[in-house]
Amino acid sequence: MLDRFNRKINYLRISVTDRCNLRCHYCMPADNPCMLRHQDILRFEEIQQVVAVAAALGVDKIRLTGGEPLVRRDIVELVSMISAVPGLSDLAMTTNGILLPDFALPLARAGLRRVNISLDTTDAVKFREITRGGDIQKVFKGIEAAREAGLLPVKVNCVVGPGPHGEDARGVADYCMRNGLQLRFIQQMDLQAGHFGIVEGGSGGDCKHCNRLRLTSDGKMKPCLFSDLSYDIRQLGIHRAMEMALDTKPEKGTVNRLNCFHNIGG
């Protein structure tokens, strides 16, 4: 499907939860993050229906995000339900990797194709600071498990600040080079201020060639990450919500005053 700027929209990013087992300081406040009510979170059947409608409209690429998607109970079952939808050429996930050592193989068997794993430093102490308590060894084991399970290519998402890449980013680049991993540098974003950049080594943030829509974990179809626009699939119906998102997709992102990163999945 084409939007009104003739961009081919074939990619749907689905946030399956706003919960996370880390508290990265640029994504989530340390305490009392604004969390969605359990009953507002989409059920698996609803997510599968959205994917089926999207696939029928021309979407062939799905990415599961969060919060942290692996904290959603029975996530392997959801992957299996989505991978059964005809017409998909790609099913990927963005994860912080902490739970991946246990999930990589079951996810691959359920139909997941590949993963992007967040890693902003290779220094264990700094990692614990950035994530407010995370254990970097679990991420390294998660990367290994993803590779062994055939979730390839394994890509690393490294969030960087403005200006030239610092010591942490260079350390991650080194680590990726030594381990044959693909690397994406993602400029730290600010939804409310409208600060974002094009992902180095990826396609995010390139408005001119944007190919994506987003579904929040409580069922809001969003035409753009940096926009307040959203369409409730439970009120409008899936097809109408997708149509409206496509028809109102902005030429480029501006600001998003209504969402937090952990409930929209970046």
As measured in angstroms, the least distance from the Cβ of 227 to ligand SF4 is 6
One-letter amino acid at 84 equals A
Is the CB of 172 or the CB of 191 nearer to ligand SF4?
191
Strands (E), the chain: 11-15, 61-65, 90-95, 114-118, 155-160, 182-187, 212-215, 220-222, 231-232
Is the CB of 108 or the CB of 224 nearer to ligand SF4?
224
Q: Could you tell me if 48 and 251 are in contact, meaning their C-beta atoms sit under 8 angstroms apart? A: no
Please choose, from the candidates 193, 237, 233, 187, the residue with its C-alpha nearest in 3D space to the C-alpha of residue 214.
Answer: 233
* Binding residues for ligand SF4 restricted to 179-218, rule: CB under 6 A: 205-207, 210, 212
Quote the distance between the C-alpha of residue 9 and its chain's center.
17
Is the CB of 5 or the CB of 26 nearer to ligand SF4?
5
Tokens of 24: 């990265």
Q: Residue 244, SS3?
A: helix
Output helix, strand, coil percentages for the chain, rounded to the nearest 5.
35, 20, 45
Is the CB of 185 or the CB of 226 nearer to ligand SF4?
226
Q: Could you tell me if 131 and 24 are in contact, meaning their C-beta atoms sit under 8 angstroms apart? A: yes
As measured in angstroms, the least distance from the Cβ of 176 to ligand SF4 is 24
As measured in angstroms, the least distance from the Cβ of 155 to ligand SF4 is 18
225 binds ligand SF4 (CB under 6 A): yes
What is the Rg, in whole angstroms, of the alpha carbon atoms belonging to the chain? Answer: 17
Is the CB of 104 or the CB of 225 nearer to ligand SF4?
225
As measured in angstroms, the least distance from the Cβ of 226 to ligand SF4 is 4
224 binds ligand SF4 (CB under 6 A): yes
As measured in angstroms, the least distance from the Cβ of 184 to ligand SF4 is 14
CA–CA gap between residue 139 and residue 145 (Å, rounded): 10
Is the CB of 121 or the CB of 216 nearer to ligand SF4?
216
Please choose, from the candidates 85, 22, 35, the residue with its C-alpha nearest in 3D space to the C-alpha of residue 56.
Answer: 85
Is the CB of 129 or the CB of 251 nearer to ligand SF4?
251
User: Using CB under 6 A as the criterion, what x/- string covers residues 93-122 for binding ligand SF4?
Assistant: ------------------------------
Q: Could you tell me if 144 and 122 are in contact, meaning their C-beta atoms sit under 8 angstroms apart? A: no
As measured in angstroms, the least distance from the Cβ of 208 to ligand SF4 is 8
Q: Residue 23, SS3?
A: coil
- With CB under 6 A, what is the number of residues at the site for ligand SF4? 10
Candidates 103, 175, 226, 261: give the one binding ligand SF4 (CB under 6 A). Answer: 226
Q: Exposed (0-12), middle (13-18) or buried (19+): which is 174, by Cβ within 10 Å?
A: exposed
As measured in angstroms, the least distance from the Cβ of 214 to ligand SF4 is 7
Query: Which residues sit at the interface with ligand SF4, rule CB under 6 A?
Result: 205-207, 210, 212, 224-226, 252-253
